[in-house]
């Protein structure tokens, strides 16, 4: 066979292009799965830390709630009013903390940008091969 000359038929060339494109797409999908898995693992670890922090804060809040309620009772408030005031304040703080954590989780970027860029390049390459 002479250098630079290909004796394959047009049908054979298209069949090879289809096989190579199929292999490339499978590899890109595998890479996308790996990339998403890595990012999801990072978010999962952050969620674990968030849960551990929430458990510790809960225990601390329970002790603090009792101390504050008893302090307010010593100042002359009825027990139910002291408990209500503390509950309202803690509910506001808890709401703010949950919104902050939700925002951080929502902003986590888990899209496989590298793989998406590769797929765009592959699409352009395939178009060039066909034309």
Answer whether 112's CB lies under 8 Å from 35's CB: yes
Residue 111's nearest CA partner among 56, 3, 37, 48 is 37
In order, the DSSP letters of 24-59 are HHHHHHHHHHHHHHHHHHHHHHHHHHHHHHHHHHHH
What pTM did the predictor assign? 0.41
Sorted by where each begins, the domain ranges of the chain are 39-130
What would the two tokens of residue 125 be?
Answer: 């390459």
Q: Which residue is associated with the tokens 């709401």? A: 95
pLDDT in tens, 60-92: 979 988 999 999 999 999 999 999 999 999 899
pLDDT in tens, 92-106: 988 999 999 998 888
């Amino acid at each position: 066979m002479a250098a630079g000359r290909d004796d394959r038929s047009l049908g054979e060339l298209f069949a090879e292009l289809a096989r190579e494109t199929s292999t490339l797409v499978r590899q890109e999908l595998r890479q996308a799965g790996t990339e998403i898995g890595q990012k999801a693992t990072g978010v999962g670890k952050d969620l674990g830390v968030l849960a551990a922090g929430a458990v510790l804060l809960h225990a601390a809040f329970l002790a603090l709630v009792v101390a504050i309620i008893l302090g307010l009772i010593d100042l002359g408030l009825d027990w139910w009013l002291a408990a209500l005031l503390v509950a309202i304040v803690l509910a506001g703080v808890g709401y703010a903390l949950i919104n902050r954590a939700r925002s951080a989780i929502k902003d986590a970027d888990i899209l496989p940008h590298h793989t998406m860029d590769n797929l765009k390049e592959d699409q352009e390459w395939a178009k060039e091969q066909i034309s």
